[in-house]
Amino acid sequence: MTKIAVFASGSGSNFQAIAESIIRGELNAKIELVITDKPGAFVVTRAKELGILVLELAPKAFESKAHYEQAIVDALQEKHIEWIVLAGYMRLIGDTLLTAFPNRIVNIHPSLLPSFPGKDAIGQAFEHGVKVTGVTVHFVDAGMDTGPIIAQVAIDVAESREETESRIHQAEHKLYTATLQQLFQ
């Protein structure tokens, strides 16, 4: 069974989907730790309800990004984490984590990368008037949503942003679990 840490900054819907897929036996992994850069984020509540250990670290409490990431690496090594799974983690990963977990950090992004990297990809898609957007799972590198693509699925853009977001979340929850299962085998 693969030991993973999930990093999240917000509500944790992708974290919840991953945790539920593990419970259903669809993903052969164990979430050993949830890490958030936003103490008090709703993902903390979700994780605690499932009995999963949470590490809440405010980056501004550290001397530098390297110190912040070293505290994370220490916690990950203590738990013998094999993979880092980003699930709505809104912070660029730096050299300290990238060096400690080479080709072992995965992210999900709500667009068909390389289109619409960064924040508010769904808003960017609407702004550009595209008819199709999607979801991408990719390895993390030093750039913003620039790592090698592992899997993608296309989604038709709906009339409303809310419906498009709903479609994307549904696709994310299926694609991420399936992709992670393949990676962990």
Consult the annotation and say whether 14 binds a ligand.
yes
**Active-site residue (options: 67, 109, 128, 138):** 109
18 is in an annotated binding site: no
3-state secondary structure 46-102: HHHHCCCCEEECCHHHCCCHHHHHHHHHHHHHHCCCCEEEECCCCCCCCHHHHHHCC
Task: Give the position of tokens 């990719």.
Answer: 138
Q: Is 13 annotated as a binding residue?
A: yes
Please check if 103 is assigned to a binding site.
no
Q: Is 104 annotated as a binding residue?
A: no
Told to judge if 80 belongs to the known catalytic residues of this protein, a careful annotator would answer no
144 known ligand binder:
no
Half-sphere exposure of residue 89: CA atoms within 13 angstroms, side-chain side = 27
* Cβ within 8 Å of residue 65, ≥6 positions away: 59, 94, 96
- Give the count of alpha carbons within 13 A of 38, CB side only: 15
**92 has binding-site annotation:** yes
**CA 153 – CA 171 distance, rounded (Å):** 7
Active site residues: 109
* Bind-site residues: 12-14, 65, 90-93, 107
* Bind-site residues for (6R)-10-formyltetrahydrofolate: 65, 90-93, 107
